[in-house]
Amino acid sequence: MITPNKNTALSNSQGTNSNPSISTKSAERIKELRKKKINPTQLVKEITNGNKTALSRAITLIESRQIKHTPAINTIIEGCLPYANNSLRVGITGVPGVGKSTFIEALGNYLICQNKKVAVLAIDPSSSISHGSILGDKTRMEELVKQENAFIRPTASGDSLGGVAQKTRESIILCEAAGFDVILIETVGVGQSETMVHSMTDFFLLLKLAGAGDELQGIKRGIMEMADAIVINKADGENKKPAQQAKSEFRKALHLYPTTESGWQPKVKLASALQQQGIEEVWNMITTYENSTKENGYFQHKRKEQNKFWLLQTINDKLKANFYQQPEIKEKLKQQLKAIENNETTPFVAANFLLDLAKEL
């Protein structure tokens, strides 16, 4: 498989260009824009005016791990915060092959027809060997990417766990500041442990397949317990009858769980994203959930709890980053790793040594 590069993405979004001189000029123009000094205040202004190019540049910046970018990142996030919190955040997960991208494109196109502005934050898995990522979601959502009121941002998961990227939370804030009504977060799709997205969304939707042998997974805890709804995708053709059977099994399984804090009883729906069937029913269910939880106060309560969670998560991330960036720690870490290799110490003793050293620095 060929990994698409930025020029490929450019041709996908703008059409094939047979003139190599024009392609060269475009590439040079992109390089000039990247070299141009970033003005975070100007970026915030352009983002709040709905400029999708500025939004893309800002997300790229906040994903940077270079310390020199920290002041600009803080300025952008602080500048966008007053314009945030005005969207409905929907997390969509499911195992690879369940049709997440096709479903999101169908839902996104439907919402745009309802005069909504839709942002899609698609998280692609990163290779543990090469650390690369395909980032092909724009190619898979070729119709949605053409829409003026749509924004699709593929991001590599990197070393983050939980199915999301390290800066997904901040990206949501920027998309809201740009005026997007609905934020759809497509997770990596790695299984039961993929629950981090639940801590940053209002509605958590789990896509399933009929006949995949996982109907009994419904009685397990974890990701099933967190789902606000299950949608059985690809419920068309010969798969329609098995989908109906799977729907019945999942509904029985969900009744085994205790009543949720929100007072919402998780639903099970059928859909065929490819045939554009069931999409309206899914969205009506999501809006019913939104109205119900806003009425009983759970919607805002959940967002406040999420903010507390992300406060602690941010502290943990900063402490970890600061620890490994200290020159003394870097040097002593190499020594301790060598000592472990030579059986001169244990991982626990080495860890305590490094942590005690960090306290003194």
Within-domain flag for 30 = no
Residues 108, 43, single domain; the answer is no
Q: What are phi and psi of 238, to 5 degrees?
A: -70, -15
Identify the sign of the CA torsion 177, 178, 179, 182: negative
Residues 100, 241, single domain; the answer is yes
Q: What is the pTM of this model?
A: 0.80
Per residue in 279-304, pLDDT (tens digit) is 999 999 999 999 999 999 999 999 99
Residues 253, 207, single domain; the answer is yes
Average pLDDT estimate for 175-203: 81
Residues 245, 134, single domain; the answer is yes
Within-domain flag for 343 = yes
CATH of the domain at 136: 3.40.50.300
Is 50 exceeded by the pLDDT of residue 128?
no
Among 255, 275, 295, residue at a domain's last position: 295
Within-domain flag for 218 = yes
Mean pLDDT of the chain: 82
Among 277, 295, 313, residue at a domain's last position: 295
Residues 354, 310, single domain; the answer is yes
Within-domain flag for 26 = no
pLDDT of 97: 84
Pairing of strands 182-186, 267-270: unpaired
Of 129, 153, 134, the C-alpha closest to 2 is 134
User: Structural domain tally of the chain?
Assistant: 3
Q: Could you tell me where the DSSP H helices lie in the chain? A: 6-14, 20-35, 40-48, 52-62, 70-80, 100-113, 137-140, 168-177, 223-226, 240-254, 279-296, 298-325, 327-341, 347-360
Average pLDDT estimate for 30-59: 86
Per residue in 71-114, pLDDT (tens digit) is 999 999 999 999 999 999 999 988 888 899 999 999 999 999 99
In which domain, by residue range, is 310 found? 305-360
CA 231 to chain centre: 19
Average pLDDT estimate for 211-237: 74
Per residue in 260-283, pLDDT (tens digit) is 889 999 999 999 999 999 999 999
